[in-house]
Amino acid sequence: MSVTYDFTGKVALITGSSSRIGAGIALLFAKSGANVVVTGRNADRVAQVAKQCTDVSPKQQKALEVVGDLNREEDLNRLIETTVQTFGKLDILVNNAGIDHLADPISADYYEKFINVMQTNLYLAVNMTHKCVPHLTKTRGNVINISSNGSKVTLKGYSSHCMSKASLDMFTQCMAAELGPKHHIRVNSVNPGTILTNFLVNNTGVTCHEIDNELFAAIGAKYPVGRPGQPEDIANTVAYLASDTAAGFITGSIVVADGGHIAANVNL
């Protein structure tokens, strides 16, 4: 039995939504009737995903396109202001934007890469949430942070990633405790495992390298579910948490959606 959600009239802003997991989340919200904000640094990809969102929307509602680098304060402010000016409100914030850097702790650029990862994976989510609180308070909205199962296990070469995501999980729980009582905002986290990211291959030409697909397939074969994840797996989890009807009693939760990666002690 398939599960459907109705987000008609809701406004969903998903950072890093011009490709991969973020695009999958944006498309599911659009398909479920929401007004969707698609944002990223590449204008062509933003336009491609926005068109897909409009195409799958039950009423062909036009997705809002905002191009910018959210680590720049002026771009972040413009994103929020444009969203509220266009739709009049904000109901759902998905902090999805993230990066990874492979780095040896003794390499000369380790600290530089660490700061770069923390800036996007943690500080950006903190700043977005902080600035969206006034708008989310008005709608009794909710925040969903896209973390990683790397917050629970160590991944060799990706210490910055693991630390940033562990911090993001704690931020999720702190904000749930602080924003719930007075602001009526729910805050949760979704922690994916290995996700195939060739989501836009057939429609936009955005592809993963074949070697990446082979690697991900090999990892997924070790999972108890027998496959790597797909963007829609994470999108479905996000939609569930965003639904006040389905998940209105859930806040401060760290929802692991990793195909059993942690449970099976899968070694990458």
Report the distance separating Cα 93 and Cα 141, nearest Å. 8
Q: Are 241 and 96 a contacting pair, CB within 8 Å?
A: no
Is residue 74 domain-resident?
yes
Domain extent, residue 243, equals 11-257
One-letter identity of residue 165: K
Is residue 6 domain-resident?
no
Is residue 262 domain-resident?
no
pLDDT reported for residue 219: 84
Is residue 268 domain-resident?
no
Is residue 267 domain-resident?
no
Is residue 1 domain-resident?
no
The total domain count for the chain is 1
Q: Cα dihedral sign for 225, 213, 148, 25?
A: negative
**Which domain CATH number covers 247?**
3.40.50.720
pLDDT reported for residue 212: 62
pLDDT reported for residue 183: 98
Report the distance separating Cα 226 and Cα 5, nearest Å. 27
> Would you state the structure tokens that stand for residue 245, as one six-digit string?
């009807």
Q: pLDDT tens digits for the chain (268 residues)?
A: 467 999 999 999 999 999 999 999 999 999 999 999 999 999 999 999 999 999 999 999 999 999 999 999 999 999 999 999 999 999 999 999 999 889 999 999 999 999 999 999 999 999 999 999 999 999 999 999 999 999 999 988 999 999 999 999 999 999 999 999 999 999 999 999 989 875 333 333 444 444 466 777 788 889 999 999 999 999 999 999 999 999 999 999 999 999 999 999 988 7
Is residue 169 domain-resident?
yes
pLDDT reported for residue 2: 66
